[in-house]
Structure 1
Amino acid sequence: MNKKAKKNNHLFRRDPMGTYDLLKQAMNVSATRSQLISSNIANVNTANYKTKSVDFENQLNKAIGSNGFSLATTNKRHLQASDLVTPTIKTNSDTSVKENGNNVDLDVEMMNQATNGLYYSALVSQLNGRYQMMNYVLNH
């Protein structure tokens, strides 16, 4: 094995399915986020309703910061990064926008829905690109 092959050998040790698992989890979080935003919008006039959101990115950033976050698997029995980060649903009860105790801001929720839609589309594009690459490799 030449020096260049040895240097790039680590590229083949990564678990490609780990990437798919992360994309799948991110898509599931985005779908959950979309449902919560839709629920927030539907309850815009419900007295004492408090907005709900998904906390995933903050937990992922904490996991990255505390563990140095390596995607290389050194042992099959080790937990994957996607196993360490679990999305949680938070209720925002700190504020009230309206006198009836409801804190749904329709403009904010519509912006969140648009942002989440773009995020989901980007994830789908990533996944499609990976499938196309895999298909190309298998057929050529």
Structure 2
Amino acid sequence: MNLFSGTISQLEQGLAYSSLNQKVIANNVANVDTPGYKSKDVNFERMLQDEIQMTSSSFQPSNPKHFEITPKQSTSGVHQRSFSVRENGNGVDMDREMANLATNQIYYDALIERLSGKFGSLNSVIQGG
């Protein structure tokens, strides 16, 4: 029996994505003056495909004629951008990083607000209200 219908675990996974995105953005900003540094990005679609691959890897064929499904190597959704913005080979575009930071903060705040509401509802039910 799933007590919370998976909502809390889905919100938790969203927070994990947002946290990873925050770390990648902060790393990019910290390396804005590092010659040759290429900025990194978190790709949600790639993370989703990795999760699907891992989930489907638990498939156990019931017939010897079935194909075996094996998961790909996990890339965790983080990839390096290949372009340079400056003459020294640095690929960090501060305007893009600040926009990504703002977008990620809004996403994170929305998840926290929803999670807080979920816990508030549970608290109300527990207290009999």
TM-score (normalizing by structure 1):
0.66
What are the Cα deviations for residues 57-84 of structure 1, in whole angstroms up to 9, with x where unaligned? 45438989xxxxxxxxxxxxxxxxxxxx
Residue 28 of structure 1 corresponds to: 16
User: Does the CA contact (< 8 Å) of 2:46 and 2:77 recur in 1?
Assistant: no
Distance in 2, Cα, partners of 1:54 & 1:15: 31
Residue 91 of structure 1 corresponds to: 80
1:55 paired residue among 24, 28, 43: 43
RMSD: 2.5
Matched, 1:115 2:113: no
Letter in 2 for 1:28: A
Letter in 2 for 1:21: S
Identity %: 42
1:57 to 1:63, Cα distance in 2 relative to 1, 3 A: same
1:106 paired residue among 89, 94, 114: 94
SS at match of 1:16: coil
User: Does the CA contact (< 8 Å) of 1:29 and 1:87 recur in 2?
Assistant: no
Distance in 1, Cα, partners of 2:36 & 2:12: 34
Runs of at least 4 residues off by over 4 Å: 61-64
Distance in 2, Cα, partners of 1:24 & 1:14: 15
Matched, 1:129 2:117: yes
Letter in 1 for 2:81: N
User: Does the CA contact (< 8 Å) of 1:56 and 1:87 recur in 2?
Assistant: no
Distance in 2, Cα, partners of 1:87 & 1:119: 19
Q: Which runs of 5+ in 1 are unaligned?
A: 1-12, 65-85
Aligned length: 107
Residue 39 of structure 1 corresponds to: 27
Q: Which runs of 5+ in 2 are unaligned?
A: 53-74
**1:56 offset after TM fit, Å?**
2.1
**1:20 offset after TM fit, Å?**
1.0
**1:87 offset after TM fit, Å?**
4.1
User: Does the CA contact (< 8 Å) of 1:37 and 1:109 recur in 2?
Assistant: yes
